[in-house]
Structures are given as C-alpha cells and as structure tokens.
A = this chain, B = another copy of it.
Amino acid sequence: MARKIVIIGAGAAGVSAAASARRVDREAEITLVTEEPYPAYSRCGLPFVLGREIPSFKDLILYPQDFYRMMKLNLLLETKAIELKPSSRIVEVKGKDGVVKSLDYDSLIVATGARASKPPIRGVDKSGVHLVRTISDCEGIERQIERSRSAVVIGAGLVGLEVASALKERNLKVTVVELLEHVLPMMLDQDMAKIVHEHLTGNGIDVIVGKGVDEIVGDTSVSGVSVGGSKIDADMVILAAGVKPEVELVRKAGGEIGRTGCIRTGIRMQTSIDGVYAAGDCAETTNMITGKPFAPQLGTTAVRQGRVAGVNAAGGYSTLTGVLGSAVTRLLDLEIGQAGLTERRAKEVGFKPVVGAVTAKTRAHYYPGGKDIRVKVVVEPESGRVIGAQIIGGEEVTQRVNMVSIAIQKGLTAYEVANIDTCYSPPVADYWEPFVTAVEMALRKM
C-alpha cells in the first residue's frame, strides 16, 4: 500500500520536503496542509514587494498549481492542523468550512514555521499596527502606505530594516526603533553595524537604538509612538520584533521542544515522536561552529531541513548535521552579509577571538565605479580557524559570503585562507581579495 506522508505547512520547508519525498517515493500519497490561502511563497520577498522592486505579491508564489499536480501533491489550503495523535498516527485538520477531518499518516512532517511576535507594548492592537509575516499582513501594509505619510518600524533586524527601506522607497518618513544597542544585532558587531546605521540615516531614515517603544499612541488608530518620553508621529507602525516558532501541535502531542524554543530534532530531522519530522522555522538544528542547538530562521536553512525531512519521511536516507546560518540582504543599495559567529557572539559562547578588518574596493582601484567593501573576520586563535565574517559593501557581497561560508564550514585556518588562490579582473575585483587581507590582519595579532 502506498506510503502516506502528511506535511503541515506549505512554506519553503514544507514544499522542499514534499518535492524531496516525491523524488524518493513516486507512489506515496503526499498531502500538504496550509492555513494560508496561497501555497508556498517566498516570505523573504515580501519587503521587496512593498518597496516595489517586485511587482506583486502573486509573484512570490513559488510554484504554479501545475507543479502540485505534476508532483501529485494534495494541497489543502486554508486548513489548520489542530491536533496530532501520534499513537494512532493521525493528525486532525480543520478546513475553511469548519469541518474537522482526520488524516492518517505513515510519516508526518511538521513545517508550521513561525508567527511574528507581538511585543507586549501598550496600544499594540490599535488600527494601523501591522505585523510582517504573511501576504495578507503585507496587503494590509500596502493599503495603508497609500494613505500614510510616516511610519515607525519596531525592530532593526533583517525584516525590520528591509521594511523600513521599502517604506522609504515609497516616500514615507520612516523611524526605526531598536531596543538593543545597534541595528542588525544578531548579524553584526557594533563596529560593522555603524556602517549600516549611517547608510540608513544618510538615506533619510531616522534610527533610534538602545531604546524601547513605551507605548503606541492614538485613539482607535495609531498617531505615533512614545520612545523614552518623547513622541514620534506616525500614521502606521510595523512590528518587526522577531518571530515565535509554531510548536504547539508537537508540544501538545508530547514532543520535545529545545532550548531555542523550536522543536528538537535529530540529524535526520526526526522529532522525539516516532514517525514525525520537523523542518523550517519551527525546527531546531545545530550550529556547525558551537555544536549547540540553533534556529537561524532563514529560508536557506528551511529548504535544507525540508529536503532532509522529506527524504527520510519517504524512506530514504539524508542527514543534516548542522548549519552555519549565513545570511545576506540589500538595503537601499547596500549589501550586508554574514557567516558564522560575530565577535560578540563568539565571546558569549566562550571563545577568545582575534579579529581583522579591512576596507577595500570591489574593482581594481583604477577601474571607475568601484564601491567600498568592508570585511571583518573573526578567528579562533587556538585552532587558528576562521569562525566568522561580516561583509558590507555596494556590490559583490553575496558570493563573498558564500566563499567565506565554505571556508568556515570546512574548518580552514587563517593560514590556509591567507594562501587561497582567488581570481581577478579589473572590472570585477582587485588583485588581493579583501577577505584574505582581513584574515592577514587577524594573523598579525596572533
């Protein structure tokens, strides 16, 4: 009899899992369940639709309906998984019409993702306050942009700054408020964050760091926020204060939740419940450098976890022993990327890192139009290994992050990096690669 695979969540992880499962088992019955009215779409693309870089939310939908037919996937839209009964291998789901159905499974993949956090700020439920997680959240933002002149974004992480940049592109007056000491606090050290901070303010975005929002003010709808005693006027407020993993389905069924708040998984993405796998923003993995539980909440991690879960759920063999959590974005023409640990994070976990940093050009110095690029590297002095890098520049950042990412993952020492053979041509790079130069700066301190 055909294997029954049920996947809860049809985001990047869920669909990646479905496609991989299908490749392993051509006969399996695969059902994808999602609460949303759309099948898989790219959440990472949402801010870029708001900024009008991408024409429409519909463009973010990853596959046409044909894909689901071709892959023989049953797609249940606007359907919520309400209870998991592991002993009978059943998951109960409730459709848009309120009818509850029982789906039995041989393998279940929980790819329920995360929901945007609603911070406990007074006034958070006023009209004009928006989360940024789903297409319908962003359709709400889109509608309000048309009738707004100013916005406050709460949270200066990746999503917060991407939305702030988008709103600026749409000619709103934008203020970003970040509780922690600097922008992109998980991704960058303070010295590197300063470059981003200045880039944002140079482009007319007000940035307040080290302060929380005391209250969202206004009658029924937002008129501003109060920060450290002073009021900032705003017609809309965006909450970009992180996400909470959706783990209740598994928790209630007795599954283990890890220290990160995500579902604990093994190297095959199996949960503590037999026959149940987890993948995506709801699932924990391991940080390659620290060996500790890790939940980087990235699309790239989600698709990798999804693939491994899908293969195993279909009876194949695949493992994920860890991820690095490399990330990149582009904010108002500035590219910002990171791989491995920041200096601060490295210290927090107990390393005594040595750092090196350099500012260079993205093209030969004599080739017009080259842009500044700054590279900071973090080296662990006992092993000599490169354990982190942050790169900020006007172009050519992404693939540099990938290069660094490979170096870190494969345990290259600073000495090895100093001898790598890079390529060069005047319009696209200079003789000496700045990643290598930054590592040499660190080596001089060792």
Contact = CB atoms under 8 A, between A and B. Distances in A.
Interface of A: 12, 42, 44-45, 48, 53-55, 59-60, 288, 298-301, 303-304, 320, 323-330, 335, 337, 339, 364, 366-368, 396-403, 405-407, 409-410, 412, 416, 419-429, 431-433
Nearest to A327: B423
A325 B324 CA distance: 29
Nearest to A12: B431
B328 A424 contact: yes
Nearest to A300: B424
Given A300-B421, A327-B423, A424-B299, A60 B366 contact: yes
Given A410-B416, A431-B299, A367 B426 contact: no
A398 B395 CA distance: 12
A420 B431 contact: no
9 contacts: A45-B364, A299-B424, A304-B421, A328-B425, A396-B398, A400-B402, A409-B420, A409-B421, A410-B410
A303 B432 contact: yes
Contacts of A44: 364, 424-426
- 10 closest A-B pairs (Cβ-Cβ)? A399-B399, A326-B423, A403-B403, A398-B428, A59-B366, A324-B421, A328-B423, A45-B426, A330-B427, A402-B422
A268 to B, nearest CB: 14
**Residue among A330, A419, A426, A432 with the highest chain B CB neighbour number at 10 A:** A426
Nearest to A336: B425
A135 to B, nearest CB: 13
Contacts of A423: 298, 300, 326-328, 337, 339, 398, 401-402, 405
B55 A368 contact: yes
A42 to B, nearest CB: 6
Contact of A402 (B300, B320, B397, B399): B399
A421 B54 contact: no
A406 B407 contact: yes
Task: Indicate the member of A339, A397, A398, A433 with the most B CB atoms within 10 Å.
Answer: A398
A410 B412 contact: yes
Contacts of A325: 421
Nearest to A55: B368
Nearest to A431: B303
